Structure 1
Amino acid sequence: MTHEPRNAGAPTDTTFGLLLEKIRYEGAYPTRERAEESLRAVLGALGRQITGDERVALAAALPEEAARVFTAEVPAVK
């Protein structure tokens, strides 16, 4: 019998999943997909606005997948 290695991304996936479930419940979204659409829209908007230390701190506080969505957006130049 061979053992499959544990998925190294599982804890991150679980954390992102819990975040989505909280957003779905608190936001009264009918589906997880709708909650994820909203989360991605908000993170994208924040990613275009927040810079410097605040940007770094927020990215560090987010689950890995959410942080990737946030940091994929380039802040607007003012």
Structure 2
Amino acid sequence: MSMRRESFLACVQERGEYRTAEAAERAARIVLALLGAHLVGTVRAELAARLPETYALILLNPLQAAEPLSPQRFVRATAAWIEGATEKTALWDISAVLSTAADSAGDALTREILLQLPPGYDLLFGHPEPT
């Protein structure tokens, strides 16, 4: 396990306030698999290059999306994949993972990623907001 993977997961775990690294890992895998289905070409490759290898592979071999999901449907899809999740907890999961991915990507690449996504995803890439 590379340090990069550990630090990525530690960041997700802290932002998502997960009790265990396993919970953070599960969220990271599901959210990045769904995100990967929405990105194409060099943008997806560049993001993958900045993620730890485990997550890069997930991003590059995504769950196929028949159509781009709106942010609301992305949240619902995430909730469906995470056992015991609600839309509210899924939103928290997504935000923890995507804000960490955005930090890895940097501002310029994050802007390019958002251009490939339906409107409203910028909110999902923000830090989780305590309710």
Runs of 4+ aligned structure 1 residues displaced above 3 Å come to 74-78
RMSD: 1.7
Q: CA deviation at 1:14?
A: 1.4
Flag the 1:75–1:58 CA change in 2: closer, same or farther, 3 A: farther
Q: Distance in 1 between matches of 2:32 and 2:21?
A: 16
Give TM-score, length-normalised by structure 2.
0.47
Is 2:21 aligned against 1:32? Answer: yes
Point out where structure 2 has 5 or more consecutive residues left out of the alignment. Answer: 68-131
Instruction: Show the counterpart of 2:32.
Output: 43
Q: Distance in 1 between matches of 2:17 and 2:42?
A: 32
Higher CA-based Rg: 1
Which amino acid in the other structure matches residue 32 of structure 2?
L
Cα shift readout 1:5-46 (whole Å, capped 9, x = no counterpart) = xxxxx5xx2110111111101110111000000000111001
Q: How many residues align?
A: 67
Q: Distance in 2 between matches of 1:64 and 1:71?
A: 10
Q: CA deviation at 1:76?
A: 3.6
Give TM-score, length-normalised by structure 1.
0.75
Identity %: 33
Point out where structure 1 has 5 or more consecutive residues left out of the alignment. Answer: 1-9
